[in-house]
Structure 1
Amino acid sequence: MLFLPKYLLRLLCFTMILGALPVIVIGSVSYTIASRDIEQKVRESNLQILHQTQMRVEQVLRSLQLSSIQYVNSPLVLRAMKQPLNSSEFQEIRDLTSGFNNLQVVTSIDQAYLVNLEQDWVVSMRSFGKLGDFSIKDRIGTYLTYTNSLFWVTQNKSSSKESVPVSAGMGEALTEQAPTLISSDNVVSMVFKIPMVPTNVKPKGFLVIDIADAELSSFLSRNPNSGDLYVLDKDQRYFLNDTNYANKYDVLNKDIQEKVQTTGEPQGFFSAEVEGKPVAVSYRQSPLNGWLYVSVVSLGQITAQSQKIAVVTGVATLIMLLVTGLVAIYGSRRMYSPISRLLQFTKGLDSPLPPAGRRQDEFIYIEERLSTLFSSEKTMREQMKGQHVHLQEFFMTKLLTGKISEEDFRYQGELYDFPTGWSHLGVLMLQIDTLEGTRYEEQDRDLLLFAVNNMVGELLPSEIRFTPVMLDDAQVTVLASELNDEVQLKEWMHTQADWIRERIVTYLNLPVSIGISRTYSRIGDTPRAYQESKEALQGRVSLGSRIILHYEDIQPRGQMEAALYTQLRMIEDQLASAIKQGDEEKTDIYFTQYLGLLADKKLHFSEYPVIMVQLLSRVYQLVQEQGGDVAEVLGEKASMAYLLKLSTLDEMTGWFRKRLFLPVIRFWKEQEESQYMNIARRMIRLIEERYDRDLSLEACAEELNFHPVYLSRVFKKEAGVNFTEYLAEYRMEKAKTWLQTTDLKISEIAEKLNYTNPTAFIRTFRKITGTTPGKYREQQR
């Protein structure tokens, strides 16, 4: 920072402060709001979890309570409570036991007892006998002290006594304490007095249902995010197997009890400390049995998400600060760039340097340097004159390619001494037709274009033309005229082009053609005119070489006729057949017919490349049919790119004969000699020659002197399909061609393909192509 320029340092500091301050403020506010919201959401979530846990447990208890009431009030139980029972009354005992089993539908119970105090018998889920015979005698005696007709008793091996919560059915407060019982460990007992009337009168009996703590504990939420969740009975004792929290939360439980009694609210949330660690406590008291559901979550868990947000917010803030810093550096440098460019520009000028060790203000430094710049203006003008010609050519190149605007032209045109006072312009493009038959080689083309460019500059006065230039493989000149009549302008430009062509033929003996654009009056239309002159030269394909072409004379006449396309395809087939047979004479005859057909139709030059590329592709296909590589067989000069560079029809025809037909004929002859015994290809050739006759595998075997089974196996291996399928597919390809290119009836096509009736032909065609011949013809037309 100490070595930054003064002005840049000021810009950087200002943008950093302007960008960093909002980022820091927004990040801090966002973290504070997010942390507060998360803490509130965690509180609400914990209370919701407690509520859901309470509802799950109480739903089971209430369902069991209702089922038990129905059982107690059933005629079976009421009748049994009025009469003695002994072990011989098996059916009666089994019916009572079945009632216990029905209670299992609600939840799994550990044990159930029906006790008749007057008749002194006990029926349990697993046994029957006298009350004195069972270990529950003392337990039943303790239940006589309860005043409610329905109550819940918690029993835990860590507890010294049971507690009696509020009655589920009566809502009466319990004041007495339950004495110690001898019972199974870790159970919750639901006790019904029979009859179910709250009174101090000794009841006739009891229904006792024991539910294992583990069964009720399964309904408690075990979400690790909700912390420690446990249940306390009416007397603040742990049960439901949560005795591992004993002594840990004793003080906390007292605080909860005080808050419940003080506020009168059955639920709440507060913060406390357990073992020196801050925790968040949520609690809910059950109205059913007075049990207290408690969730204790470490504040570290609650703030964990806040810490993640803090990390994310911090990282985001740092990234934004980094981006702000980068933007500040980039923006400062961008704003400083004009001054920097001026500073760098003036450093090369002769002027006193600032004293060492002192940072000079940029503007003062630039001012000193600019004084030197103005003093050296004359010297710079002298240097520019030496490069004047190159600058003119560079400027013209940009003008022709559309890289300069009219405003720039008006400003710079005067510097380059271009013609003034003109009313119309036109573009002449000159290209060498061919170097074959001349004394020049292909490598001389660029040198010849340079010589032609110099000749044009000397032949045409500077008042009527801009600086001639070379672009790609052409020489381009922009002519300027004061004429306004279009006919006169066209004749004048033709005269100039003819004069140039004659001089080049005379001095260089070069065959050249010239394309002339339409005239225009706006300098901004020069790129369009340049393209028009190029398109005009493409007319040589159909009109020949050594000509002068105007853009207006080569406009397209429409799409190629469908009939011409069909005729060309038929001649292509004949030409390909002659090449396969190695008949050079027939090949030349068919190719002459092909060119003659093109000449008779007087095609537009733009259609020739398409047709020639199509023919080229067909020749490539012949090479590939014999398994040859096009590049290896024909060489680099037989490529599609080379064809597209040819500008005249004579060049194209000579190129096809020399570069394509003769090498392919030689290649086919070599392949025939080396692969004469290739059975599969000989069979394919038979199919191609005799597809319109009755041809079978047996006929091929007789022709080739091989067994039909052997021929079938060889053909399937080489062609990938069996002989019959290949013959059918080949015939269908012929059928598709005729459907596309001729008006033959379907019955006529079937007959030409040797089908006995049109129905068999249609069925085969639809099987292979997926459609009928009629629909296929409609789709292709």
Structure 2
Amino acid sequence: MQKYLLRLLGFTLILGALPTVIIGIASYYIATQDIEEKVNEGNLQLLQQTQMRVEQTLRSMELSALQFVNSSLVKGSMNESLTGEDFIQVRELMTGLYNMQSKAVVKQAYLMNIEKDWAVSLNGLKLADSMDNKKEFLAYAKQPESIFWNTRDIGSVNTALESDTTSELTSAPSETISLVYKIPLAPKTNTPKGLLVVQISTSEIHGGLTAKNTLGNNYVLDKTGMAFLSTASDKEANSEINHIIQDRVSNQLQKQGFFKAKIGDKNMGVSYLSSGNNSWTFVNVVSIEEITKGSKKIAILTAGVCGFILLLVLIFAFYGSRRMYTPIRSLLEFMKKMDTDANPERLGTDEWSYIKESLQSLFVSRGRLEKQMQGQSAHLKEFFVLKLFTGQISDSDFLYRSRMYGFPIEWDHLGVLTVQIDNLQDTRYQEQDRELLLFAINNIVGELLPQQSRFSPILLNESQVTLLAVSTDQTQDLKTYFYQTAELIKSTVEQYLQLQVSIGISASFDKLSYTVKAYGESLTALKSRISLGPDIIVHYEDMEQNGNTETAVYAHLKVVEDQLIQALKDVQLPKAVDIFNQYLSSILHKDGFLHEHHILLMQVMARILLIVQDRGVSVKKVLDGDGDIERFLKLQTREEISLWFQSRLFAPVVRILTEKADTQFLNIADRLMRMIHEQYDQEMTLESCASALNFHPVYLSRVFKKEIGVSFSDYLSEYRMNMAKVMLETTNLKISEIGEKLQYKNISAFIRTFRKTFGMTPGSYRELLDQK
């Protein structure tokens, strides 16, 4: 006995200690990761706020400068040679330069006319040749952009690009940055008439970077990757980080992100965010040690809490195990008294197994009972209606059940509508979809008809059946209501499922016990499809009642059967189909044959299979066992019968007799690819191609994806993008014209697709070609 107590104690200790250790380790790890992620997210948000503050300042200055450049004063002055005598016009220009003050304070501004050799600044009018920074301005004019921000002298920039980056690392931070506008702005030229140069202090940018961030350091990289606001020591310390960021941004890998790097002997976390406006990159560098400083405190606290919990687990495990073992001992003693055949030695070594087996037997029995009851409530309504249609419920039980399930109670007459699918062979569905389609029709009926006018729709014998309740006793009104309801169901099914169905309507009745008979009447009405054809609504009372059944004469059918057999032996499939259709017309045009047609058709089937057997071929190569026969017996319309015989008998028999297989392979994918290559600049869809190739779009899509490896739309888009690339290389068409030629109605969609395919916009690709 004591062995089990020790095992129980050990198990309790493990059970209590193991989760505590796992939770402690997991909580420390999760807390560390969470703190690091939160800090990174906070730094990224601060970077976004910093970017918005800085770019708001820059955009404000760009807007003020653009308004000044487009003013009539500047446009008129650019065509004149200003001198000291034009002091009024010069003063107006100086005033306009001064009024460009917005959120940023303008340190100096120049309006320079290169052609007329004059320049107006905040200090007055000068000759352009006498300016100290004329070479710098002429270098501005040679830049490819019409509007840009310069973070250093153009001359020093060009020198730095041609040499190594040592000078950049040792250079002092820039004191000013310059906004440059070429006049005129368009077209792009290296020889503009003039320039507008606005210089603002870098302290304006520094002011935007002063975020309330106690962790890390913020700085900005220009489009060349230079930290133009940083000191020489900071540049040198962060040079490797700046190179990594520049490589990621320039290679289009990631416009924003986070990575870890090492500066000296410190592990640093770097968050960066690239601006799409001026290609500046905002960077935050934070020490990993600072981030994880709080997690170390959490680790100490977690270790202390876990140790305390382990101590409590040990105490409670000891006393709890002893108390837990007391009822087990009592139960075991009780079971030993009740079980006279029990072996005391076996019970002493494995008493828990004995108790466990008893309890396990109890729980297994309980589980079986729960599984039997599970889900029954969801089908009680359908089960009740099914019992009603099979005659298993009485009128006296109806009132109680109807109130329980919410069925109609107050009604005058009832009627049964039975819906059956006509034919699936000429639709997009397969025969194995029949049950799923009936389920869909049942759902449509349930949603279409109000609950107060019907019982729960059910599926019964490959039919969808609905019991309608009507509060009227006028015969004509009843028939009208039943027919309108059937027409509504039929049209809705055709609309949503593109499926033809037929509906049989029973005669009206006023007692629930007549439901079984009414269901039989609706099925009888549906049998008229054999002679009337599919896609019909038939009321049982409208069927022609003919009590004098004519005696069938089969002599002429024997002649038609012989002609059919001969046509199959002669391997004349079209002729055999025509003869069989004549045979169907002969046996289906009279009521006397309606209930005998299956027997006659079985006779024809046997004679056809005899042809195959006479040539030593197994019947299994024509019919797939009992499944085909069962399907044949369920055929309800003439079209179904005709198609079944053509596909399941005539075609296989002709194929076997001719011993030829159709080896011609039609490479659908190659034809579809050829259409794309020839018609890529025309409006084309998968549906239009499917119509041209006489295939269903879904089938065509699957074949193309299987053989080519990509979908039709992806292949068409990729081919059009390749052709767009060729047009950019070989023509002077505008980007919008190329997009329209490739059937992109929205130029933004064309640019977005091109960038997704090649990693750059069409304009950037054309500029790259021009530079090459």
TM-score under structure 2 normalisation? 0.37
